[in-house]
Structure 1
Amino acid sequence: MQQIDHIGIAVKSLATAVPLYEKLLNSLCYKTEVIPTENVTTAFFKTGETKIELLESNSDDGVIARYLAKKGEGIHHIAFEVADIEAEMARLKSLGFTLLNEKPKPGADDKLVCFLHPKDTTGVLVELCQGIR
């Protein structure tokens, strides 16, 4: 793992959260993106070398909607940049980590992503991400 790429924060409303984070971080949102496969809309902020990703559900039964219903707004995941996502997935799987997807899938911010089950990572949802070349 090379570095923390971003921290994902589940929010009820980007319309409310984006202006709040623009004030908090003293930085404008540089990108919003709809991710149809995850039924989510994201908004990104840059803070030093790390990004903040706000996640809003696009449906009442989406993964973020379910998360919000269960846990409320807050940190959803931490994402680590990797050089070779398939090799890193194989390495972690061989060490006993549970992958939530068996193959990398397209994610936000032009990345391939894979998530690790939080039961194996002290309750933290971990995302591996690699830039699409």
Structure 2
Amino acid sequence: MIHKLEHVGIMVKDMDASIRFYTEILNLELVGREKLDNGVELSFLSYPDTDHIQVELVGRGSDDIPAAGKVDHLAFTVSNIEAEVERLRGLGVKLIDEKPKTILGGVQIAFFYGPDGERLEFFQPKQA
């Protein structure tokens, strides 16, 4: 039986820069990091005190990262999307959406880029 989605893997060029981005900008915590015998480096990040889905950063130690299988985007739930977009703007993060969009009758979304050009999304659920 499948119980839950465990993690989402994202290919990265610079592990240290990616860890800084995900911890300092998105407030995830680094919970594990290991370099494998074949040169692949893995880092796992999650939010404090949760056993929910993790982000796995996968570094191959070169700039030649394959595009095949690259994750389309990773979404983070927020409570005040406008404030979060402004925070990213102030930090110099490259925004895809300059202001949030409304979809599905009240859900708000805004996309931005991570350090390797990965698409990331802030997702604010529909207000009751």
TM-score range, shorter chain: 0.3 to 0.5
Q: Which has the higher contact order (CA 8 A, sep 6+)?
A: 1
Determine which structure has more spread, i.e. the larger CA radius of gyration.
2
